[in-house]
Copies of this chain bind each other. A is one copy, B any other.
């Protein structure tokens, strides 16, 4: 059941979390995938990379290629525009969250 719930309830939240991560420090796809998995959240690579691309198209993220041990990684960083979107999402999420715990 836990799996189903992620799809149904938590995917949007995971996306906010991606923005937040990218605010703290540059993040790449595989890293966040594995990290989320470790904590019991599943997001497919298809959805994940598509999410990164979508965020970049919307101007929320930009990436730079880094060569790590001879492998290319795309490190994504939050833009100002992304920060704005993130803050709004966070705020709205908090509203709903507070309603949940009031």
**A residues touching B (Cβ–Cβ < 8 Å)?**
1-2, 5-6, 8-17, 20, 39-41, 85, 88-90, 92-97, 99-100
Q: Within the oligomer, what is the number of copies of this chain?
A: 2
Q: Which of B85, B92, B100 touches A93 (beta carbons < 8 Å)? A: B100
Chain B neighbourhood of A96, CB < 8 A: 10, 13-14, 16-17, 41
* Contact status of A100 and B16, CB under 8 A, knowing A2-B88, A85-B1: yes
Q: How far is the CB of A96 from chain B (nearest CB, A)?
A: 5
Q: Which residue of B lies closest to A17 (CB)?
A: B96
B13 close to A9 (CB less than 8 A): yes
Whole-angstrom distance between the alpha carbons of A39 and B97 in the complex? 14
